[in-house]
Amino acid sequence: MTGLAGDPVATQTEASCADARDAEVGNLYVAYRDRIHRYLVVRGCSEADADDIVQETILMVRRSWDAVRGFEKPAAYWYKRATQMRWRIQGKLGKFARDPEEILRSIPDPADRIEQVDLERTLMALVRRLPPRQGGVLWLRLVEGFSVAETADILDIGTGTVKSQLHDARKNFEEIARENGLTWEGDTR
Amino acid sequence: MIIEELLGALGERVTPPERSRREFAELCRRVDNDPREQQRIDDAAELIDAEEVIYGQALAAVDRRDTDAAEPLLRRAAAAGIGEADYLLAELLEERDPDEAINIHRGILAQGDTRSAHRLELLQASQPSLAEPASAVRDDPGLLLVGETADVGLPDLLPDGPKGDLLGLGEPDLVPLDVPVDLPDLLPDDPAGRDGPDALGSGGSAAPTSRDWMRPEQPGRQSWLEDPGQYPGDWLLPQATEGFSRLEDPGQYPGDPSDAPSQPPYYDGPASFS
């Protein structure tokens, strides 16, 4: 039992548990902070909104850590919470009316080879041009490396939906990449 | 697949670990020292949990084909943006309310779920009177690629007219105000045959015309629009036998004897259907 007022042993135990919890959640934060931030930006959040969501949801993870620590991938739980909070802040399409300037800045000159451009920024901008649901699935599967089942769990959708949306997303992404002059080895078209 | 390799190269951490640790420690300190902040986080988490429970109940109701139970749950889950609640709701409404189902499917399609394109085609095939074909939505690049901001090359649907007007019909000729215009007689005759000076029983200073019964501004005349309780058809309602509208004349509810006319306007006795 913890939290007994005036019981120094209980108080010390509680404090050390909290310390252990914060150490574990802190490690999760260090490992995934930027990844989740990037995922939120790709899904249409502004940098400021993404910062807010990252911070609020890690506190939710911390709050539920006793249950979450037993998950195979606690990070998936954080992604799920971030996805849910993103919707609450942005709505269905929400702020997806992105700044055209931002997109244009991110699109490379067609004359450039892919090695010459800021790959990450460019790819993020191109993924953001996908329809929202396809962009989310593509990012979680191909960038974050979650399995079909994990992606389905994060997005609260069926595994069949993940597969079909990934198929559409990949097709659309390649098309967008070509339209914007990206070339890469192995592109046969 | 090379695209996967490209994307897979992303996601490397850029913030120095020490900075992230300090940031996290500060977050914890802030929430631990501020009960209101703690409460705010708790409330948000509990709200999301509750919405997930609702979605779970909705899925269970859909599984057991309890559509009456599923619909309100799916509506709430869809409003909260959870999972596929909107798609399931649209499917459920396809028979109950095809119009709403079509609207929801269109929204889903705009977000990139192409299953809704097929559902829209089926729906519109079964409801030919409903709106545009699904192909129009599916082929619209602005819907499928929501983030598209570059020139998408929209086709010119309307030819330019000689003066730049969209329809190419030219500018309409304006009619000077002082020129008498012979307007067509658009107003219908009084359907109840109440034309003439005695139509409302009050008369007017000007010579009445066959349209006077539609003109509320005439002094001494009562308009159906201005005189609650005397709307066309009002006399058919039980309370109209007292001659007052329940909504517009408070204090003079049916049964209030004050000022109640003995008969509603145009009351010619009980209708006979024989």
Count of other CB atoms within 10 angstroms of residue A134: 27
Count of other CB atoms within 10 angstroms of residue B66: 12
The reply to whether residue B144 touches residue A172, judged by beta carbons under 8 angstroms, is yes
Task: Tell me the percentage of chain B whose pLDDT exceeds 90.
Answer: 32
Instruction: Report the chain A residue with the minimal C-alpha distance to residue B46.
Output: A60
| Closest Cα in chain A, distance from residue B66 (Å) | 20
Which chain A positions have a beta carbon within 8 Å of B21's beta carbon?
Answer: 26, 29-30
In three-state secondary structure terms, A38 is helix
Q: Which residue shows structure tokens 């010119």?
A: B156
Count of other CB atoms within 10 angstroms of residue B182: 5
Residue B24 touches chain A, beta carbons under 8 Å: yes
Nearest-angstrom CA–CA distance, B98 and B102 = 6
Of B7, B145, B149, the CB nearest to A143: B7
Residue B180 touches chain A, beta carbons under 8 Å: no
DSSP sequence for chain B: -HHHHHHHT-----S-HHHHHHHHHHHHHHHHH-HHHHHHHHHHHHHHHHHHHHHHHHHHHHHTT-HHHHHHHHHHHHHTT-TTHHHHHHHHHHHH-HHHHHHHHHHHHHTT-THHHHHHHHHHHH-TTSSS-HHHHHT-HHHHSTT--S-------S---TTS-TTS--PPPPPPTTS-------SPP-TTS--STTSSSS--SSPP-TTGGG-TTSTT---TTTSTT-STTGGGSGGGGGT--TTTSTT--TT--TT--SS-TT--SS----
| Closest Cα in chain A, distance from residue B54 (Å) | 13
A122 pLDDT band, cuts 50/70/90, is confident
ipTM: 0.79
A-to-B residue pairs, Cβ atoms closer than 8 angstroms: 158
Interface test with B, best of A142, A153, A159, A184 (most B CBs within 10 A): A142
In three-state secondary structure terms, A182 is coil
Instruction: Report the chain A residue with the minimal C-alpha distance to residue B16.
Output: A30
Nearest-angstrom CA–CA distance, B106 and B112 = 10
- The residues, any chain, with a CB within 8 Å of residue B174's CB and separated by 6 or more, are none
Q: Which residue shows structure tokens 């658009």?
A: B186
The reply to whether residue A123 touches residue B27, judged by beta carbons under 8 angstroms, is no
Cβ pair B106, B120 in contact under 8 A? yes
For B200-249, what is each residue's pLDDT tens digit? 444 444 444 444 444 444 444 444 444 444 555 544 555 444 444 444 44
Nearest-angstrom CA–CA distance, B143 and B109 = 7
The reply to whether residue A131 touches residue B112, judged by beta carbons under 8 angstroms, is yes
In three-state secondary structure terms, A13 is helix
Query: What pLDDT score was predicted for residue B132?
Result: 56
For B117-148, what is each residue's pLDDT tens digit? 999 998 888 876 655 555 554 444 444 444 44
Instruction: Report the chain B residue with the minimal C-alpha distance to residue A179.
Output: B150
For B10-56, what is each residue's pLDDT tens digit? 656 578 889 999 999 999 999 999 999 999 999 999 999 999 999 99
The reply to whether residue B3 touches residue A93, judged by beta carbons under 8 angstroms, is no
pTM of the model: 0.62
CA distances, A117 to each of A131, A181, B227 (Å): 24, 11, 75
Surface-to-core class of residue B105, CB atoms within 10 Å of its CB (0-12 exposed, 13-18 middle, 19+ buried): buried
Of A33, A119, A158, the CB nearest to B84: A158
The reply to whether residue B6 touches residue A55, judged by beta carbons under 8 angstroms, is no
| Residue A78, pLDDT above cutoff 50 | yes
Residue B20 touches chain A, beta carbons under 8 Å: yes
The reply to whether residue B10 touches residue A120, judged by beta carbons under 8 angstroms, is yes
Which chain A positions have a beta carbon within 8 Å of B6's beta carbon?
Answer: 114, 119, 123, 184
Nearest-angstrom CA–CA distance, B164 and B168 = 7
Of A34, A59, A184, the CB nearest to B27: A59
